[in-house]
Amino acid sequence: MPQKVSVGIVGASGYGGVQLVRLLLEHPHIDITFLGAHQNNGVRFDELYPQFGHRVSLVCEEPDPDTIAERCSLVFLGTPNGVAIGLAPALLKKGCQVLDLSADYRFSDLETYRRWYGGERTDHEVARTAVYGLPELYRERLRAARLVGCPGCYPTASLLAVAPLLKQGLIDPRSVIIDAKSGVSGAGRTLNVGSLFAEADGTVAAYKVARHRHTPEIEQICSELAGTPIHIQFTPHLVPMVRGMLVTLYAQLRDPGLVSEDLLTIFEAFYRQCPAVHILPSGVYPQTKWANGTNICYIGLEVDPRTERVVVLAAIDNLMKGQSAQAIQVMNITQGWPEMTGLPQMGFYP
Amino acid sequence: MPQKVSVGIVGASGYGGVQLVRLLLEHPHIDITFLGAHQNNGVRFDELYPQFGHRVSLVCEEPDPDTIAERCSLVFLGTPNGVAIGLAPALLKKGCQVLDLSADYRFSDLETYRRWYGGERTDHEVARTAVYGLPELYRERLRAARLVGCPGCYPTASLLAVAPLLKQGLIDPRSVIIDAKSGVSGAGRTLNVGSLFAEADGTVAAYKVARHRHTPEIEQICSELAGTPIHIQFTPHLVPMVRGMLVTLYAQLRDPGLVSEDLLTIFEAFYRQCPAVHILPSGVYPQTKWANGTNICYIGLEVDPRTERVVVLAAIDNLMKGQSAQAIQVMNITQGWPEMTGLPQMGFYP
Amino acid sequence: MPQKVSVGIVGASGYGGVQLVRLLLEHPHIDITFLGAHQNNGVRFDELYPQFGHRVSLVCEEPDPDTIAERCSLVFLGTPNGVAIGLAPALLKKGCQVLDLSADYRFSDLETYRRWYGGERTDHEVARTAVYGLPELYRERLRAARLVGCPGCYPTASLLAVAPLLKQGLIDPRSVIIDAKSGVSGAGRTLNVGSLFAEADGTVAAYKVARHRHTPEIEQICSELAGTPIHIQFTPHLVPMVRGMLVTLYAQLRDPGLVSEDLLTIFEAFYRQCPAVHILPSGVYPQTKWANGTNICYIGLEVDPRTERVVVLAAIDNLMKGQSAQAIQVMNITQGWPEMTGLPQMGFYP
Amino acid sequence: MPQKVSVGIVGASGYGGVQLVRLLLEHPHIDITFLGAHQNNGVRFDELYPQFGHRVSLVCEEPDPDTIAERCSLVFLGTPNGVAIGLAPALLKKGCQVLDLSADYRFSDLETYRRWYGGERTDHEVARTAVYGLPELYRERLRAARLVGCPGCYPTASLLAVAPLLKQGLIDPRSVIIDAKSGVSGAGRTLNVGSLFAEADGTVAAYKVARHRHTPEIEQICSELAGTPIHIQFTPHLVPMVRGMLVTLYAQLRDPGLVSEDLLTIFEAFYRQCPAVHILPSGVYPQTKWANGTNICYIGLEVDPRTERVVVLAAIDNLMKGQSAQAIQVMNITQGWPEMTGLPQMGFYP
A240·C185 Cβ contact <8 A: no
* CA distance from start to end of chain C: 36
Per the prediction, chain C carries an average pLDDT of 97
pLDDT given for residue D3 in this prediction: 85
Helical segments of A238-347, H only: 260-270, 288-291, 324-335
Give the whole-angstrom CA distance, residue A139 versus residue A342.
Answer: 18
Give the whole-angstrom CA distance, residue A217 versus residue A222.
Answer: 9
Q: Let me know the angle formed at the C-alpha of C247 by C246 and C249, rounded to the nearest 5 degrees.
A: 150
Tens digits of residue pLDDT in A24-52? 999 999 999 999 999 999 999 999 999 99
| Sequence-separated (6 or more) residues with CB below 8 Å from residue C18 | B349, C12, C48, C49
Is A153 an active-site residue? yes
SS3 C299: strand
SS3 B171: strand
| pLDDT tier for residue A2 given thresholds of 50, 70 and 90 | low
B198 touches chain D (CB under 8 A): yes
SS3 A91: helix
pLDDT given for residue D1 in this prediction: 54
Give the whole-angstrom CA distance, residue D49 versus residue C313.
Answer: 38
Per the prediction, chain A carries an average pLDDT of 97
| pLDDT tier for residue B234 given thresholds of 50, 70 and 90 | very high
Dump strand ranges (E) for C13-85.
Answer: 30-36, 74-77
pLDDT given for residue B334 in this prediction: 98
Provide ipTM, 2 decimals: 0.97
C280 touches chain B (CB under 8 A): yes
Give the whole-angstrom CA distance, residue C132 versus residue C81.
Answer: 16
Q: Which helix (H) or strand (E) holds D245?
A: strand D245-252
A195·C196 Cβ contact <8 A: yes
CATH fold label, B154-316: Dihydrodipicolinate Reductase; domain 2 (3.30.360)
Give the whole-angstrom CA distance, residue C340 versus residue C321.
Answer: 11
D54·A243 Cβ contact <8 A: no
Interval A133-155 mean pLDDT: 98
Interval D50-69 mean pLDDT: 96
D290·A350 Cβ contact <8 A: no
Interval B202-226 mean pLDDT: 97
Give the DSSP letter of residue B193.
G
SS3 B268: helix
Query: Closest approach of chain A CAs to the CA of B215, in angstroms?
Result: 11
A302 touches chain B (CB under 8 A): yes
Give the whole-angstrom CA distance, residue A166 versus residue A175.
Answer: 11
pLDDT given for residue C30 in this prediction: 97
Amino acid present at C92: L
Amino acid present at A324: S
C282 touches chain B (CB under 8 A): no
CB A196 within 8 A of CB C185: no
Give the whole-angstrom CA distance, residue D185 versus residue A210.
Answer: 39
Closest to A201 (Cβ–Cβ): which among C193, C199, C242? C242
Residue C304: closest CA among D234, D93, B179, B144 = D234
Tens digits of residue pLDDT in C227-253? 999 999 999 999 999 999 999 999 999
The catalytic residue among B72, B96, B150, B153 is: B153
CB neighbour burial string for A301-332, b if at least 16 within 10 angstroms, e if fewer: bbbbeebbbbbbbbbbbbbbbbbbbbbbbbbb
CB A160 within 8 A of CB A299: yes
The catalytic residue among C72, C96, C150, C153 is: C153
Residue A184: closest CA among C240, D319, D243, B199 = C240
Helical segments of C109-169, H only: 110-117, 124-128, 135-143, 153-167
Interval D320-326 mean pLDDT: 98
A128 touches chain D (CB under 8 A): no
Interval C103-118 mean pLDDT: 96
pLDDT given for residue D2 in this prediction: 60
The β-bridge partners of D177 are D233, D250
CATH of segment(s) A153-316: 3.30.360.10
Query: What superfamily does domain B5-150+323-335 belong to in CATH?
Result: NAD(P)-binding Rossmann-like Domain (3.40.50.720)
C197·A202 Cβ contact <8 A: no
- Domain ranges in chain C are 5-150+323-335, 153-316
The catalytic residue among D153, D222, D274, D297 is: D153
Interval B255-261 mean pLDDT: 96
From residue A24, give the alpha-carbon distance in Å to each of A9, A34, A136.
10, 12, 21
Q: What's the helix, strand, coil split of chain C in %, to 5?
A: 35, 20, 45
Per the prediction, chain D carries an average pLDDT of 97
Closest to D286 (Cβ–Cβ): which among C181, C205, C307? C205
Residue C132: closest CA among C2, C58, C221, C203 = C221
pLDDT given for residue A3 in this prediction: 85
CA C138 to chain CA mean position, Å: 13
pLDDT at B1 over 60: no
Give the whole-angstrom CA distance, residue B240 versus residue C275.
Answer: 35
CB pairs under 8 A between A and D: 81
C263 touches chain D (CB under 8 A): no
C188 touches chain B (CB under 8 A): no
